[in-house]
Structure 1
Amino acid sequence: MQTKRIRLGILTPSSNTALEPLTCAMLSALPHVSAHFARFTVTEISLRDAALGQFDVSRILEAARQLADARVDVIGWSGTSAGWLGFERDEALCRQLTQATGIPATTSVLALNEILAKTGVRRLGIVSPYIDDVQTRIIRNYERLGIECVAERHLGLSENFAFAEVPDDVLAEMMREAAFARPDAMTTFCTNLHAAHLAQPFERETDIPAYDTVATVVWKALRMLDVDTSPLSSWGRMFDVTPRRRSSFASGIPSATSGIAF
């Protein structure tokens, strides 16, 4: 019997060149699942008003409606802006996306936060390409969740396009340096980093779980559709678990009944 085709809709920053090939590479292990992308303008990551305004919900909803035309089964925002804007922004965004399209939604950051909650992470390592004040905002927002950033590395970049140009060896070294603090988990926090494929080697070397934000939204979108993620286990240990049953929260907010097993 032919397996039902599943379509993931992914919202993408316009200057991002990393998340599309990474997402498609992950999904190559699932021939019945495809990814479809819609862009909206994002070129700078900073706390300047113009940069913050790039994430106005009306722009995101316009892109989401294009994905709805493709009759995707779920919409995922593959971006980390809630890290500095506040996690409540993504919670509201998911509600607005579903209201506008009728399609369940999730985000990279809400998916990451769900994983951290389900695995009891209290000490986190954060690797990003961002400038100082953006990184500080991210750290403070995690502190409000009761998660301490015990080690961090960032590159001081603000041009979004430039993030994808960071070499693998630089990112791997940043992860290793942060690992010396022995966090409960490590996150590569930016969807325009070529970092998702570094998770499994890092986990083998350090025995610290590594959660890349391109991978987290794929993980959550598949689980929302009851898709077995274990064929993607080469992208990190978070994929190597079969879902028990569908989450009761499409947005990726943790719940006592979400049925995620670690």
Structure 2
Amino acid sequence: MTTVLADRSVYGVIVPSTNTVVEDEYYRHRAPGVSFHAGRILIRDEKLDDDASFESFLEDLRREIGKAVESVLTCRPDHLIMGMSAETFWGGAEGAAEFERWMRELSGLEVTTGAAACHAALTELGVRRIGVITPYQPVADEQVRRFFTELGYDVAAVRGLKCESATSIADVGPAELRAAFAAVDAPDVDALVQAGTNLPVMGVAAELEEELGKPVIAINAATLWHAYRTTGITGPVPGAGSLLASL
């Protein structure tokens, strides 16, 4: 539904309780007449310092997602955005599609996921060879690589930052982000992509696009763009990169 303050669209946003970046970046680049309302997935153990810890973190997510969706649906949103990304890439293209189907069934709403939004953005841009950065451990990096490869992308490189906890992802600064993007870039790479919604990348990505002359897709920009497009929100959003500038 729309509201007095949000007369164009109301979005439910599902985020891990450890995430401090999604809502901040969304509100910095909010289109007029929309609002965002979080359903937070309770994370009891934020450790991500090895593959086993990362898989345990995902198990927590899966157990708690339903409660977060149930909570946010009480504000009657028009559309659901998954403000978490690792789970949306898991299992390759089919796993991502199954997750999206499950979220639609759970919520009764159209859903934007990180994986689907990145694919839609790359399709819109017409690029195939990509470099990817993540905050993840290797087990999750391979899932990201698998997803893009199964959809026909040529993944030149994936650089995982191996952040030690879910909260420490938000502590990664611009210099480290730039170095990670540089590590997966090359003259024959058409676009750079970032996964991991708690990485504060939107501002850095917009700057790098200007400097490199190629698309740099921050996942929070991609999900915001996808949700706006899906719900008919038009009008450029400045300062957030080429995707949102092209609305």
Does TM, scored on the shorter chain, surpass 0.5? yes
Number of aligned positions between the proteins: 237
Which residue of structure 2 aligns with residue 115 of structure 1?
121
Give, in whole Å, the separation in 1 of the partners of 2:160 and 2:6: 43
Give, in whole Å, the separation in 2 of the partners of 1:35 and 1:204: 29
Which residue of structure 1 aligns with residue 139 of structure 2?
133
Alignment of 1:13-162 (within 5 A): 13-27=16-30, 30-42=31-43, 43-45=46-48, 47-48=51-52, 49-56=55-62, 59-81=64-86, 82-162=88-168
Give, in whole Å, the separation in 1 of the partners of 2:103 and 2:134: 27
Residue 169 of structure 1: how far off its partner (Å): 1.5
Residue by residue, what CA displacement relative to the aligned partner does 1:166-217 show, whole Å, maximum 9, x if unpaired? 1111102222332234411111211010111112211111111011111111
TM-score by length of 1: 0.82
TM-score by length of 2: 0.87
Q: Is the 1:68–1:103 Cα contact (8 Å) retained in structure 2?
A: no
Give, in whole Å, the separation in 1 of the partners of 2:144 and 2:68: 25
Q: Is the 1:12–1:77 Cα contact (8 Å) retained in structure 2?
A: yes
- Secondary structure at 1:127's aligned position in 2? strand
Give, in whole Å, the separation in 1 of the partners of 2:160 and 2:108: 38
Residue 222 of structure 1: how far off its partner (Å): 0.8
Q: 1:3 to 1:193 in 2, by over 3 A?
A: closer
Select which of 200, 204, 210 maps to 1:198. 204
Residue by residue, what CA displacement relative to the aligned partner does 1:17-57 show, whole Å, maximum 9, x if unpaired? 11111111111xx231111111113434564352331232x
Q: 1:37 to 1:87 in 2, by over 3 A?
A: farther
Q: Is the 1:9–1:37 Cα contact (8 Å) retained in structure 2?
A: yes
Which residue of structure 2 aligns with residue 260 of structure 1?
none
Q: Letter of the aligned partner of 1:32 in structure 2?
A: G
Give, in whole Å, the separation in 2 of the partners of 1:181 and 1:123: 11
Q: Is the 2:89–2:95 Cα contact (8 Å) retained in structure 1?
A: no
Q: Letter of the aligned partner of 2:191 in structure 1?
A: A
Q: 1:31 to 1:119 in 2, by over 3 A?
A: closer
Report which stretch shifted further, 81-90 or 64-73: 81-90
Give, in whole Å, the separation in 2 of the partners of 1:90 and 1:83: 5
Q: Is the 1:151–1:181 Cα contact (8 Å) retained in structure 2?
A: no
Using the aligned pairs only, state the percent identity. 24
| Structure 1 gap segments, 5+ residues each | 243-262
Cα-Cα RMSD = 2.1
Which residue of structure 1 aligns with residue 241 of structure 2?
236
Which residue of structure 1 aligns with residue 9 of structure 2?
6
Which residue of structure 2 aligns with residue 248 of structure 1?
none
Residue 226 of structure 1: how far off its partner (Å): 0.5
Q: 1:208 to 1:9 in 2, by over 3 A?
A: same
| Structure 2 gap segments, 5+ residues each | none
Q: Letter of the aligned partner of 2:198 in structure 1?
A: N
Residue 147 of structure 1: how far off its partner (Å): 1.1
Give, in whole Å, the separation in 1 of the partners of 2:238 and 2:13: 21
Residue 69 of structure 1: how far off its partner (Å): 0.7
